């Protein structure tokens, strides 16, 4: 135990000494670590990666989380011109050998059938045909695929439908429903997924926020109308015939006279 402590102290001292020397030599600027010019040699690459690993210790885990998320906007953009296809984010959290892994795909819904598109090294973890009648069937299919690679599915996060307008300012709901598979029975999971399906159907009827392009067009108005020709609104009195207007004036004066007599 004492030997291990001494070794760790020595390693820490060496690391601090290296960092101190690096700051003295390079002025604390990591870019100056490259003294060999271009192309960068292997030793310089190793020193730079050691510096990155020391500052961002969880960088590898973060990269695994966003690997699938970076490809998701591509699929939603490519399917924008398919108004009959509804899209929603569908993400999974699995566990394997004590480590947790995150993966996200684009769920699809058309004609009462569910499917999915995504990116993965395993085909059955990224692509599902539009053949599942319920959202529960789609989630169970992914659960079986994960089990085939010795992964245990822990959580499922489902978002709302994504707008087809590429200029929409509507924010994407990534986590409308968060389902913990360890705490839910199969029947409870089915009820939650059916509830989420109803919520998504209700959102279809709601109008999305207008895009900035449409708002700008409404503010600018018609290009044929000049700035010096304001719109003149015709009142109801002006639209009436002249005879009708005289009758109204006489009736008003008679009422006024009657009011004065009563006083």
The answer to pTM > 0.85 is: no
- Is residue 128 within 8 Å of residue 187, measured between CB atoms? no
**Chain position carrying tokens 């300012």:** 169
For residues 51 and 69, membership in a common domain is answered with: no
SS3 call for 238: helix
For residues 80 and 36, membership in a common domain is answered with: no
Q: Confirm whether 149 is domain-assigned.
A: yes
**For 33, what's the count of Cα atoms within 13 Å in the CB-facing half-sphere?**
22
Final residue of a domain: which of 204, 235, 255? Answer: 204
- What gap in Å lies between CA 90 and CA 174, rounded to an integer? 8
Range with lowest mean pLDDT among 15-19, 76-80, 159-163, 212-216: 15-19
pLDDT band (50, 70, 90) for residue 165: confident
Q: Confirm whether 258 is domain-assigned.
A: no
Of 153, 152, 116, 109, residue with least CA distance to 133? 109
Of 194, 88, 191, 211, residue with least CA distance to 135? 194
For residues 83 and 39, membership in a common domain is answered with: no
Supply the mean pLDDT for the chain. 73
pLDDT of residue 24: 42
State yes or no: pLDDT of 22 exceeds 50.
no
User: How many domains, the chain?
Assistant: 2
For residues 70 and 193, membership in a common domain is answered with: yes
Of 31, 173, 164, 170, residue with least CA distance to 91? 173
Domain that holds residue 45: 2-57
Final residue of a domain: which of 175, 204, 233? Answer: 204
Q: Confirm whether 237 is domain-assigned.
A: no
State yes or no: pLDDT of 169 exceeds 50.
yes
């Amino acid at each position: 135990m004492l030997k291990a402590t001494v070794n760790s102290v020595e390693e820490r001292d060496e690391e601090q000494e290296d960092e101190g020397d690096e700051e003295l030599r390079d002025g604390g600027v990591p870019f100056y670590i490259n003294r060999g010019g271009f192309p960068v040699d292997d030793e310089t690459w190793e020193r730079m990666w050691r510096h990155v690993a020391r500052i961002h210790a969880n960088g590898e885990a973060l990269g695994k989380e966003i690997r699938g998320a970076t490809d998701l906007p591509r699929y939603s953009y490519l399917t924008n011109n398919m108004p009959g296809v509804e899209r929603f984010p569908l993400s999974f959290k699995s566990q394997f050998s004590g480590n947790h892994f995150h993966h996200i795909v684009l769920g699809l819904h058309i004609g009462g059938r569910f499917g999915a598109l995504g990116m993965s090294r395993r085909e059955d973890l990224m692509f599902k045909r539009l053949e599942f009648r319920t959202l529960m069937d789609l989630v169970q299919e992914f659960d079986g695929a994960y089990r085939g690679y010795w992964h245990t599915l822990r959580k499922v996060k489902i978002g709302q439908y994504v707008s087809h307008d590429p200029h929409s300012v509507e924010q994407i709901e990534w986590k409308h429903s968060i389902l913990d598979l360890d705490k839910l029975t199969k029947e409870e999971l089915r009820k939650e997924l059916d509830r989420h399906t109803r919520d998504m159907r209700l959102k279809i009827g709601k109008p999305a926020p207008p895009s900035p392009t449409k708002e700008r067009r409404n503010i600018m108005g018609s290009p044929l109308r000049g700035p010096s020709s304001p719109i003149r609104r015709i009142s109801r009195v002006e639209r009436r015939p002249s005879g009708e207007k005289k009758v109204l004036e006489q009736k008003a004066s008679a009422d006024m006279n009657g009011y004065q007599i009563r006083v």
